[in-house]
A and B are shown apart, each in its own frame.
Chain A
């Protein structure tokens, strides 16, 4: 999958890519599927590695195959946002596909899938090793989904800040909010580093966080099939009590 020059922002901003993926326009469908693949391939890959204990190469093939089938076989046509979350639907599809393939015992060579998306499995393997894996594979899938959602929102924010000439705001956000806790600089240190007043650091960070929040919600809106699902997901996503 080619990197999106718009900072991974799907052009159908504030519209559901799920609806686009279920639509009739083949071009729109392919673009929508690209966005869905980008948001979900990491959770899918890591999930099958943990849930079905697939070897790395098998997990790579399975992930490729899964997203190819999603487009070719029109899996999403049977998804109804009223009945549940998209990622629960996808997880069910993953499990079903895996069990079907195991049952049939004559899996086609998945590497020959007609649609071959380019995914960085090497990076995903490193991420898998770096993240803590507590709880069930299903919980891990949810956690990975949140991680991907935030990561996509960060890229979206980066692109927006770049085009709006607010690169300092993003740089501050990256240094302060995306950095390691141990090496996190103080506002005063950031002010010195960026030659700003401390109040400017405060204001710039407030701006970046506000925009990041908007990016997350925009990303979420794209990744959900209905307004009800979006509201439900937003509540779930923001429903963790801050410590």
Chain B
């Protein structure tokens, strides 16, 4: 048996990891990162002369569980056409037997890298923007289940994208299998569901009871317990709430100098409540409460007292209050001087 020096072992290990792209339209350029199921590579599409990202399984699984899950992720992404969800271009099997899918290459930073330059207000607005594609996915019966700062990308043009749908759960009844007809009414948009087709996709995406999926620190209690049947869009409310807690906790970057108010803390607490029924019923509701907070309006998560309400009203109508006070002061001075 031939002895392999350290440098050869390291080289072979790298070779083992590099996807075999021979005979495909792709050419490996750079290793980008590693996710739960596989590695992501920057590759060049030789036909269209553009760079794209290739997610490839780390290793073949004889049970094919991972390959099926990767393909499901690709199918889910393909069905979720939204500016906040990375589009998928291609999927298949490489010559070395590994499953892959090809997606848009997003140049940007993950949320945890990006927020350092932002003040609290901008951070909260970012949470509202994350809620948009998430709400869209929920309307199609898809639950992300792995929301965390590392899975949120802010692109070069400031666009916010939710990445890594590898742990996504397809709800039994949803509109994921067919483009939903959008029906507007009462100021909201709801998707008309196609339960027959979505049921088929959901059947391919079963998660056994007791299976724990997610990332510690961002996982909802029902995920930690493996209560698969309890997982619904409020599980993602918890995930988004955890990101909200993270950005409120994070003290890095530019000094914000803004103390966390009780209503804001209450929003975070309501979003990450251990009891499912105590959380916001949807990510839109959470985003709406954040919007009210940003507009100095009362939020649903917190009942303010008379003093707090006065302070908020004063803050909200600062100009008017200053004008009234100035008027009253002038009036008093006028009365005083006119008496002399």
Interface residues of A (CB under 8 A from B): 8, 38, 123, 126-127, 130-132, 143, 146-148, 150-152, 154-155, 177-181, 202-203, 206-207, 209-210, 212-214, 216-217, 221, 227, 230-231, 234-235, 237-243
Q: Is B17 an interface residue (CB 8 A)?
A: yes
Interface residues of B (CB under 8 A from A): 1-9, 11-18, 20, 22, 31, 34, 58-63, 66, 95-97
Q: Which one, B2, B13, B60, contacts A178 given CB within 8 A?
A: B2
Chain A residues near B60 (CB-CB < 8 A): 217, 234
Secondary structure at chain B's binding surface: helix, strand, loop or mixed?
loop
Q: Which one, A130, A151, A230, A239, contacts B58 given CB within 8 A?
A: A239
Q: Are B3 and A217 in contact (CB under 8 A)?
A: no
Secondary structure at chain A's binding surface: helix, strand, loop or mixed?
helix
Distance in angstroms from A4 CB to nearest chain B CB is 10
Distance in angstroms from A14 CB to nearest chain B CB is 8
Q: Are A217 and B59 in contact (CB under 8 A)?
A: yes
Cβ-closest 4 pairs across A and B: A206-B22, A234-B59, A242-B14, A238-B58
Q: Are A241 and B31 in contact (CB under 8 A)?
A: yes
Known contacts A212-B12, A213-B96: A152-B59 contact under CB 8 Å: no
Chain A residues near B95 (CB-CB < 8 A): 206, 210
Chain A residues near B58 (CB-CB < 8 A): 234-235, 238-239
List 11 extra interface pairs beyond A202-B22, A241-B31, CB under 8 A: A127-B3, A130-B3, A143-B9, A150-B12, A150-B13, A210-B95, A216-B16, A227-B62, A238-B59, A240-B14, A240-B17
Q: Are A154 and B59 in contact (CB under 8 A)?
A: no
Give A155 to B1 CA distance when docked, in angstroms: 7
Give A130 to B1 CA distance when docked, in angstroms: 16
Give A155 to B118 CA distance when docked, in angstroms: 56
Q: Are A177 and B12 in contact (CB under 8 A)?
A: yes
Q: Are B20 and A209 in contact (CB under 8 A)?
A: yes
Distance in angstroms from A113 CB to nearest chain B CB is 23
Distance in angstroms from B23 CB to nearest chain A CB is 8
Q: Are A150 and B3 in contact (CB under 8 A)?
A: no
Q: Which one, A123, A178, A227, A243, contacts B8 given CB within 8 A?
A: A178
- Give me 10 A-to-B residue pairs in the complex whose CB atoms sit less than 8 angstroms apart, sorted by A's number: A123-B3, A131-B6, A146-B13, A154-B4, A177-B15, A181-B7, A216-B16, A235-B59, A238-B17, A240-B17
Give A227 to B9 CA distance when docked, in angstroms: 25
Chain B residues near A126 (CB-CB < 8 A): 3
Give A237 to B96 CA distance when docked, in angstroms: 16
Q: Are B22 and A227 in contact (CB under 8 A)?
A: no
Which chain B residue shows the least CB distance to A228? B63
Give A218 to B61 CA distance when docked, in angstroms: 12
Chain B residues near A216 (CB-CB < 8 A): 16
Q: Are A210 and B8 in contact (CB under 8 A)?
A: no
Q: Are A238 and B20 in contact (CB under 8 A)?
A: no
Give A97 to B9 CA distance when docked, in angstroms: 30
Chain B residues near A214 (CB-CB < 8 A): 96-97
Known contacts A203-B22, A210-B95, A237-B16: A154-B34 contact under CB 8 Å: no
Q: Which one, B7, B14, B34, B63, contacts A227 given CB within 8 A?
A: B63
Which chain A residue shows the least CB distance to B11? A177
Chain A residues near B66 (CB-CB < 8 A): 231
Known contacts A210-B96, A217-B60: A239-B3 contact under CB 8 Å: no
Chain B residues near A152 (CB-CB < 8 A): 1
Give A237 to B9 CA distance when docked, in angstroms: 11
Chain A residues near B3 (CB-CB < 8 A): 123, 126-127, 130, 147, 151
Distance in angstroms from B42 CB to nearest chain A CB is 12
Chain A residues near B2 (CB-CB < 8 A): 151, 154-155, 178
Give A202 to B17 CA distance when docked, in angstroms: 18
Chain B residues near A143 (CB-CB < 8 A): 9
Which chain B residue shows the least CB distance to A184? B11
Q: Which one, B4, B6, B9, B16, contacts A213 given CB within 8 A?
A: B16
